[in-house]
Structure 1
Amino acid sequence: MINSAHRVRATVVAASLLLAGCGGGPAERLGPGAGGSPSRHGEATPAPGPAASRAAAPGRLPGLGPRTLAAIPSRTRQAVVVTGRGRNSSRSAVVLYERTEAGWRAGPSRPAHNALKGWTGHHRAGDLRSPIGVFTLTDAGGLLDDPGTRLPYDRSRAFTSPGTGFEGEPLAGSFDYVVAVNYNRKSGTTPLDWTRPLGAGRGGGIWLHVDHGGPTHGCVGLREDDLVELMRALDPARHPVVVMGDAASLAR
């Protein structure tokens, strides 16, 4: 569980979450978390991400080029691959891969939304693009009770998301469950932690959260049932990562 000191910080940042929705503007640095490359807080190696992953050959992650594959830690046994339809598209697909002795095995493909303007290899606060790269997944939280994840889980009223999205859809419930993407954030803390190792200008607050039916500021939104299933599957002992970006970038 996240300790009380982190809960105090969560309370302090609650107001920013109300304004940010999901990674955006000045409030972004207070919202959903971030982290860097698989083992650092710095720039992640852009990951060529598998598009239609479900029919992958068992031995290799499909759709990923050599640069992306090289960014996945050798000890990783779970990879959540988020593949955008295009560089400027807000639509993507999410597949969880499990590494076995026979190779990588794909789960079902799940529909998702990413940032309004698509993807970028150099994320900046307020650019309305999701960061491309390979990032570790170490922490979770939400407004509701722990759904049964093995990741450390911070339940807090600070995970509130009022207002409407870019298409007029209500944001309520978007942060019922979240998994922090370790882009420009300190791992091992609540997703509400404001620490930004790369500085506030590089954005942050990138989460996997409940889809509100439209584009995000920078996060990835999945249907609630799909997100809960994913959270229950993620296992810290398997060193999970998310590989995210548009298909062309991930395939380099």
Structure 2
Amino acid sequence: MPSSDEQSAGRTFPDQADPSPPATSDPTADPGRVPGVGARLHRLIPEASRQVLAVYGEGEDSPDCTLVLYEKDDDDAWYEAGQWQGHNGRKGWTTDHHENDLRTPVGVFTLSDAGGTLDDPGARLPYDQGKSYRVPQSWGEAHLHDFDYVIAIDYNRLRGTPPTDPTRPEGDKRGGGIWLHVDHGDGTSGCVTLPESGMEYLLRTLDPDRHPVVVMGDRQALKA
């Protein structure tokens, strides 16, 4: 099961309601830079990475976000390969995440392990399927499918282990159990969500050989 941190309770998919415009449409933007991401965070993207999931939070205290998958072509230019509307921590974002603060950590994190209650949809990342992802009934009906599919965000966790591994290398106070998972329509305890179709697409697309990472934060923080 996820930690107590989570227990506190261009392609667009057809179930995406009221899609926002792309995160950026600046024709003068540098094709070698992920749109909307400033120099400091851009330097944290591994040189080998050819897949970046950018999560653009609508505001420091907002639970709403836009997710855009970028892939790098043979000319080392980033192009948009998918876009979804989703949610982040119900209190917004933080650069100093702590357990139960109901905020999502800002930063650049690798994506290395996946799982869920449903059978593997063809994931390229290692996929752990099982009962350990079932949501407690006490969370309510709206959350029953949250963990049908999950991708672990490598914040305060051991890479190469199932998303449910409780190990927190930086200590429990720093929080953990930060996942990409199926959207339930509002803010989370710290995870990032998107529609189920988007999760399926990411699971089938994110490739360990392309060193995928997530770059996430509110739009202002991402520009730093």
TM-score by length of 1: 0.78
How much has 1:169 moved relative to structure 2?
6.2
Partner of 1:236: 208
Pick aligned residue for 2:25 from 34, 50, 55: 55
Measured in 1, the distance between the counterparts of 2:147 and 2:133 equals: 5
Note if 1:139 corresponds to 2:109.
no
Query: Match for 2:23: what amino acid?
Result: S
Q: Is the 8 A contact 2:116 2:128 kept in 1?
A: yes
Note if 1:70 corresponds to 2:43.
yes
Query: Match for 2:133: what amino acid?
Result: F
How much has 1:231 moved relative to structure 2?
1.2
Structure 1: unaligned runs, 5 residues or longer:
1-13, 29-50
Partner of 1:221: 193
Q: Is the 8 A contact 1:169 1:213 kept in 2?
A: no
Measured in 2, the distance between the counterparts of 1:177 and 1:206 equals: 13
Note if 1:23 corresponds to 2:6.
yes
Query: Match for 1:202: what amino acid?
Result: R
Secondary structure of 1:23's match? helix
Q: How many pairs were matched up?
A: 209
How much has 1:161 moved relative to structure 2?
1.4
Q: Is the 8 A contact 1:54 1:109 kept in 2?
A: no
Q: Is the 8 A contact 1:81 1:96 kept in 2?
A: yes
Measured in 2, the distance between the counterparts of 1:182 and 1:154 equals: 16
Secondary structure of 1:248's match? helix
Secondary structure of 1:72's match? coil
Runs of 4+ aligned residues of structure 1 deviating over 4 Å after TM superposition are none
Measured in 1, the distance between the counterparts of 2:137 and 2:87 equals: 18
How much has 1:54 moved relative to structure 2?
5.8
Measured in 2, the distance between the counterparts of 1:169 and 1:98 equals: 36
Secondary structure of 1:96's match? strand
Partner of 1:39: none
How much has 1:158 moved relative to structure 2?
0.8
More strand by share: 2
How much has 1:52 moved relative to structure 2?
3.7
1:214–1:164 CA distance, 2 compared to 1 (3 A):
farther
Measured in 2, the distance between the counterparts of 1:54 and 1:108 equals: 13
Question: What are the within-5 Å matches in structure 2 for residues 1-252 of structure 1?
Answer: 14=1, 17=2, 20=4, 23-24=6-7, 52-53=22-23, 55=25, 57=29, 58-102=31-75, 103-163=77-137, 170-252=142-224
Secondary structure of 2:53's match? strand
Name whichever of 54-63 and 72-81 sits farther off: 54-63
Secondary structure of 2:37's match? coil
Q: Is the 8 A contact 1:129 1:218 kept in 2?
A: yes
How much has 1:93 moved relative to structure 2?
0.4
Secondary structure of 1:225's match? helix
Q: What is the percentage of aligned positions where both structures have the same residue? A: 49
1:120–1:72 CA distance, 2 compared to 1 (3 A):
same
Q: Is the 8 A contact 1:81 1:243 kept in 2?
A: yes
Secondary structure of 2:119's match? coil
Q: Is the 8 A contact 2:65 2:88 kept in 1?
A: yes
Q: Is the 8 A contact 1:54 1:95 kept in 2?
A: no
How much has 1:213 moved relative to structure 2?
1.1
